[in-house]
Structure formats: structure tokens, C-alpha cells
Chain A
Amino acid sequence: QKEVEQNSGPLSVPEGAIASLNCTYSDRVSQSFFWYRQYSGKSPELIMSIYSNGDKEDGRFTAQLNKASQYVSLLIRDSQPSDSATYLCAVTGSARQLTFGSGTQLTVLP
């Protein structure tokens, strides 16, 4: 069973702080990595994708990938209350199907 695991949370950070969300995966041949954001009662929406080792920045979001350690993370700088949501890590493995983690609930406190 190929797994994607996320830090269980919930995670609370003060407004303006950096939120760090972590994800590990078990399938060594995984090639594609995604972060989806899901507001309560809503559907997931893609916020970041990363394919190569290193960092990828998009506005206040930075995705970091380390394939040797089988680890992907999402940093949210200058966190805002509107960032409060569940963040789902998703990984495409050898079967070329997305496997989702169970999500980390983030609360940004005003």
C-alpha cells in the first residue's frame, strides 16, 4: 500500500507567521507532488505543484521537495486568517494515480 502521510495537526499559527506543512511518501518512484487547499465544506483546489528537487515559490507559498528523503513541504509566509483551511498533500506514484494524504488543518489566529 503506497502511503502519503502528513503531520496530523491541527496546526495553529498567529497572523503574519510562517506556517510549515509537511508530507512524506512511501513510493520511491513518485514523480509529481501537489498541495491542495480545502476550505471547510468545500471542494479541494490546487495551490502548488512541484516536480523537481528544491524549492518552488508562488507568492506567499513555497513548496519544497526532497526526493532522497521522500519528503515534500509547504511553507506559507505572512499567514492570513483566510489561509485557515485543510491542506492536502497528493503524490503521483508508480501507478500514475494520485494518492492523497489525510490533510493538515491549519488555523491562522488574528
Chain B
Amino acid sequence: NAGVTQTPKFRILKIGQSMTLQCAQDMNHNYMYWYRQDPGMGLKLIYYSVGAGITDKGEVPNGYNVSRSTTEDFPLRLELAAPSQTSVYFCASSYRGQGNNSPLHFGNGTRLTVT
């Protein structure tokens, strides 16, 4: 049982480049989330999804896009990388929505540097 799998673990991008952060979960969770964590800071919600075909913006969505074509996968797309997007990105999933007694299961994170 792999849980939540994120790839890649590390990536260095040049300003203006694009990339997709991959996230997959094998727990049949409907809810999936993308967070970013800047040094010494808490987690900020970028986008979330309550099921296949349904996505919505979180607190800091600018510069990112997501899709949810299947229950398992929730990729995060950066179209024009900027230094402000240097961060650690965590994908998470949960059985029920936030606020219910349903813990978030996190992936191991992707450390992204934009130079």
C-alpha cells in the first residue's frame, strides 16, 4: 500500500519554464489537495478536488493549474515558473473533506527551486 506518491522529489527550474508535479494515491480517496510550504511557514492550500472532474481554488492558486481526470491522480501544473514559486509542495488526500474526522495523508513532498 503506497499511500500518496509524489514525483519528482527535487527539481530545479529556470524562470519561465513549465513543469508538472505528479501526485497519485491508491486509497480510493475522493478528496485531494495541493499545499506549498515555504521555509519556517505553515502549509498554504493551492488547489483541491472533491472528486474526479471537480477542482477548486485554495488560498494561493495564482500561477498554478490542476486537473482531476481520475480518482487516483491529481497533477499540479506550473506554466511560467517564477522565483516566488520556490517552495516545498505537498500533495495530500483524505477520505472525507476537511473538517470531518478524516486525517490528511501526505505525500513525501517535492522540493522545487526556481532560479
List chain A positions with a Cβ less than 8 A from chain B. Answer: 4, 31-32, 34, 36, 42-46, 49, 51, 88, 90, 92, 96-103
Contact = CB atoms under 8 A, between A and B. Distances in A.
Interface residues of B, number: 21
Given A102-B42, A103-B42, A43 B98 contact: no
Contacts of A97: 45, 48, 58-59, 98-99
Given A97-B98, A98-B98, A4 B42 contact: yes
A88 B43 contact: yes
A23 B59 CA distance: 20
A92 B90 CA distance: 19
Nearest to A91: B99
B44 to A, nearest CB: 8
Interface majority SS (helix, strand, loop, mixed), chain A: strand
Given A43-B107, A45-B106, A88 B42 contact: yes
Interface in B56-115: 58-59, 90, 97-101, 103-104, 106-109
A49 B106 CA distance: 16
Interface string B9-51: 0000000000000000000000000000000111111001000
B42 A100 contact: yes
Contacts of A31: 99
Given A42-B108, A43-B90, A43-B107, A32 B41 contact: no
Nearest to A92: B99
A102 B38 CA distance: 10
Given A32-B99, A96-B97, A43 B42 contact: no
User: Which 3 residue pairs of A and B lie closest in terms of their CB atoms, listed nearest first?
Assistant: A100-B42, A43-B106, A92-B99
B108 A98 contact: no
Contacts of A90: 42-43
Nearest to B101: A49
Contacts of B100: 32
B109 A98 contact: no
